[in-house]
Amino acid sequence: MLSVLRPRFRGIRGGTAWAPGAGRPLRVLVSSRPPAHLVAYVDQLIGDDSRGEAPRGVQFEFRRHLYGSFDADVIHLTSTSAVVGDRRVPERERIRRARRFVKTLKRRKIALVRPLLFDETRHRREPSRTEEILHQATTSYVLLHPVTTPPSQDATIIPQSHMRDRFLGYPRGETVPGRLLMISRHVLNPAYEAPLKVFSVAEVPGCTLRIAGNVPPVLADSFARTISRSPVSISHRKEPLSDAACVDEITQAELIILAAPHSYETLSTAILALSLDRPVLVEDTPGMRLLADEVGADWVRVHEGRLTAAALETAMQAIRVAPPRGRPNLDAREPNDIASRYAAAFHAAALKTSANDMR
């Protein structure tokens, strides 16, 4: 029988809604591990303080699970599982936890801010009762992309920050002409099975395919069979990847192939590759088209529909004729500008909660 952990939210302290002139920084609790040596979404909240120029005025605390005692003016809920548990928890218990959490937010006058990671609302099913409860309690949303469909009008667009300065001093690989790369820090999305098979039949002379990261167990045999048929042109680094390993693999590649274009991991991988001055090839979606318009079409090369052998051959021919020049335009994604925008969003949410409390 599944044992159910019963979280207690009574320790959340707030009491007085934050307001300008409070004499202390805004306290923001983030449902995540702290920023660490591995790049993660939460790095954007902090910015780059290598020159002492990161935004001030916000005091962050990071916790994977929102249980126990802590102070907060704003909770940035990056994952609902931090509050209600994962899918192994029965829905009835998840509803109970959500209601208790919301009750505590209201009693303690704490604003709730939630990010929508890229286009995760695409093909979205009807929300569960748990999701509806948390939605009703959400003060505001942060969208990483303008084509994401917000569940309410109170939403702010804050793009993913670039990572150009994050890897200063990291060893860079020497570019291998013709190397194409499919990469994931942990497990490749199942969507990468298709471009693997496409490469195995495409006529792209002088090109090799590198796969970096583990594959889903259910697709292990499929990947192994395809790779075994082309051992000279396809290689696989089958292991979780550190930041240094990602930098090494990406900088050795001439082109990064991206699948699952609506996922946050794909967007993050695209920004990482562009930060390292490597072009990407991805399906033409509204989001990726906007990214191409922003950074330069030579850097984000799009193809219609799922990748085909013809589309891959066309992309490689175009790169041979007109390789990318200069660097991708990432000016709108400076880390400290992005962190400042998050700080502004948190302050606005706190002010909104304070104003509602005074009514």
- List the CATH number of the domain containing 257: 3.40.50.2000
318 and 228 housed in the same domain: yes
Q: Is 26 exposed, middle or buried (0-12, 13-18, 19+ CB in 10 A)?
A: buried
Which residues constitute the domain of residue 186?
179-330
| Residue 166 resides in a domain | no
Helices (H), 67-108: 81-84, 91-108
| Parallel, antiparallel or unpaired: strands 74-76 and 26-30 | parallel
> Tokens 């990071």, residue?
62
Total count of domains within the chain: 2
Residue 36 has pLDDT above 60, yes or no: yes
Give me the phi and psi of 228, to 5 degrees please. -65, -25
Output the pLDDT for position 172. Answer: 93
Q: How far is CA 292 from CA 136, 297, 304, in A?
A: 35, 5, 14
Using pLDDT thresholds of 50, 70 and 90, give the confidence band for residue 229.
very high
128 and 33 housed in the same domain: yes
Provide mean pLDDT across the span 348-354.
92
154 and 26 housed in the same domain: yes
Whole-number percent of the chain with pLDDT over 70:
91
> What is the C-alpha to C-alpha distance for residues 278 and 163, in angstroms, rounded to an integer?
13
64 and 123 housed in the same domain: yes
Q: What is the CATH number of the domain that holds 89?
A: 3.40.50
| Residue 230 resides in a domain | yes
The amino acid at residue 87 is R
| Residue 171 resides in a domain | no
Most confident of 8-17, 126-135, 254-263: 254-263
Provide mean pLDDT across the span 289-310.
96
276 and 339 housed in the same domain: no
126 and 221 housed in the same domain: no
Residue 1 has pLDDT above 50, yes or no: no
Residue 51 has pLDDT above 50, yes or no: yes
| Residue 253 resides in a domain | yes
Whether pTM > 0.95 for this model: the answer is no
| Residue 173 resides in a domain | no
Using pLDDT thresholds of 50, 70 and 90, give the confidence band for residue 4.
very low
Please tell me whether residue 220 adopts helix, strand or coil conformation: helix
156 and 23 housed in the same domain: yes
Residue 5 has pLDDT above 50, yes or no: no
Neighbours of 184 (CB within 10 A): 21
308 and 207 housed in the same domain: yes
> What is the C-alpha to C-alpha distance for residues 317 and 23, in angstroms, rounded to an integer?
61
Using pLDDT thresholds of 50, 70 and 90, give the confidence band for residue 354.
confident
| Parallel, antiparallel or unpaired: strands 70-71 and 12-13 | parallel
* Model confidence pLDDT, tens digit, residues 316-344: 999 999 999 999 999 999 999 999 999 99
> What is the C-alpha to C-alpha distance for residues 99 and 80, in angstroms, rounded to an integer?
13
| Parallel, antiparallel or unpaired: strands 74-76 and 208-214 | unpaired
317 and 342 housed in the same domain: no
Q: What is the pLDDT of the chain when averaged over all its residues?
A: 90
| Residue 6 resides in a domain | no
| Residue 167 resides in a domain | no
17 and 141 housed in the same domain: yes
71 and 208 housed in the same domain: no
| Residue 4 resides in a domain | no
> Tokens 């029988």, residue?
1
Output the pLDDT for position 7. Answer: 45
* Bridge partners (DSSP) listed for residue 201: none
Output the pLDDT for position 33. Answer: 92
183 and 316 housed in the same domain: yes
Using pLDDT thresholds of 50, 70 and 90, give the confidence band for residue 176.
very high
Give me the phi and psi of 117, to 5 degrees please. -80, 105
Residue 112 has pLDDT above 90, yes or no: yes
Residue 83 has pLDDT above 70, yes or no: yes
Which H/E stretch holds residue 196?
helix 193-201
Q: Is 219 exposed, middle or buried (0-12, 13-18, 19+ CB in 10 A)?
A: middle
**Cβ contact 142:107 at 8 Å:** no
